[in-house]
Copies of this chain bind each other. A is one copy, B any other.
Amino acid sequence: VRAEIVSVGTELLLGQIVDTNAAWLAERLAPLGIDLYWISQVGDNLGRLTEVFERALRRSDLTIVTGGLGPTEDDLTREAIAAVLGEQMTVVPELEADLRAFFARRGVPMPARNIKQATIIPSGRPLRNPIGTAPGWWVERDDHVIVAMPGVPHEMRRMWQEEVLPILRQRMGTAAIVSRTLKVLGPGESAVEEMLQHLLASPNPTVATYAKPDGVHVRVTAKGSSDDEARALVAAMEAEVRAALGHHIYGVDDETIAEVVSRLLLERDLTVATIEAASGGMLASVIAEAALSAQVYRGGLIVGASGLAPLGAAEFGARDGHDTTSAAAAALLARVARERFGADLGLAITGAPGPTASGETPPGTVHVAMAWHGEPHVNTQQHRTTPTEVRRRAAMAALNLVRRTLLESATRA
């Protein structure tokens, strides 16, 4: 199946928004066995829209359109599809009732122009939009399919999952598709690909890697004649991926490293505190994103010019003759975090995220320390990227250090 994506909206051509819908959809087509050959962005102009849809009908089996389904005169996706197919739009009473109910729930009258959101053409059928006013269209003529969805990302994503994906699966003869993402921290993408070399060519399940801000994602996707069969295929492949990557895998699907670490701490009735001398609150911010963290997080200090004085702790600063950016300083900070916040574990980050060196520490070098029992663990990292990215990676490394240490202590116990 040859597919293309068309994103509609003049704001895309003015650079006011970035087309994230296309990338989101693109990522989901390959696992369905659908080959995506073209993506295009086009403005709210009937002539150009019609031209783009005509070409799509000629060259693609499946055209996925997002945007242009709003109620205004600028929203022309429906009109262009109808024009290309030479069909008439008519109001569907049930859609109109849905639409009026939507406005009634919000306590506002429905503007007259919204009625066009309740229309369909003879070759089409509506796709439900439970969270917005724009239903989608599934249009089919002569073995060509056009799917039109709203441009608002969360409406589009929900319509894709609930309405479009089930039909596409059936069409693709894949009764079931199951995907699972294994998330990796530690090795980089090329190292992960090397470790998975023997699996990357597998046709079913497929195994693909993606470099993301929270590590490397390994996506395993299987097709099967039933959900159970696809799930079993994924499980078997997951076992192989796990055999190859082992403890480098920190989580699955939507799990974050902060959630995983918070859960591990909670299970053991442990708490954590942070002191950041080089990451400026990045570590605390990442932890705060995990709902569970409220139960395990004792608090954190961002070290500024006042050093550790606000904690009533030892002097800490260049004036006192310390190299506050050294590995030894990281170990000290981790111990102070543990003691002053009354936490079981203390985490600390120091160093020189850049762009300039700090003291003797070259730019891009950060030390990540964890204090628990005995001497603190310290990891030193050297990155060649922006200071913000160095801070983010240091925060990820700090959480991964906790995860690895807790898992190892469990194995030993």
Please tell me if the beta carbons of A210 and B306 are within 8 angstroms of each other in the complex: no
- For A45, the chain B residues whose CB sits under 8 A away are 37
Q: Are A210 and B16 in contact (CB under 8 A)?
A: yes
B40/A39 in contact, CB under 8 A: yes
Copies of this chain present in the complex amount to: 2
- The answer, among B29, B40, B299, B391, for a CB contact under 8 Å with A302, is B299
Closest B residue, CB atoms, query A18: B23
* Residues of chain B lying within 8 A (CB to CB) of residue A273: 304, 306, 310
Decide if A342 touches B30 in the complex (CB within 8 Å).
no
- Asked whether A340 is an interface residue with its Cβ less than 8 Å from the other chain, the reply is yes
Which residues of the partner chain B approach A223 to less than 8 Å between Cβ atoms? none
- Alpha-carbon gap, A40 to B48, bound state (A): 13
Q: Is A362 an interface position by the 8 A CB rule?
A: no
Is A388 among interface residues, defined by CB-CB distance under 8 A? Answer: yes
A12 at the interface (CB under 8 A from B): yes
Chain B residues with CB under 8 Å of A210's CB are 16
Please indicate the chain B residues that have their CB under 8 angstroms from the CB of A340 in the complex: 310
Q: Does A271 have its Cβ within 8 Å of any Cβ on chain B?
A: yes
Q: Are B301 and A297 in contact (CB under 8 A)?
A: no
Answer yes or no: A314 CB below 8 A from chain B CBs.
Answer: no
Within 8 A of B (CB), among A342-356: 342-343
Known pairs A18-B20, A40-B38, A48-B37; A301 contacts B304 (CB<8 A) = no
| Residue A300 CB within 8 A of the other chain | yes
A284 interface residue per 8 A CB criterion: yes
Subset of 12 A-B contacts with CB under 8 Å: A15-B26, A273-B310, A281-B285, A285-B391, A297-B302, A298-B305, A299-B306, A300-B301, A300-B302, A301-B310, A306-B342, A311-B311
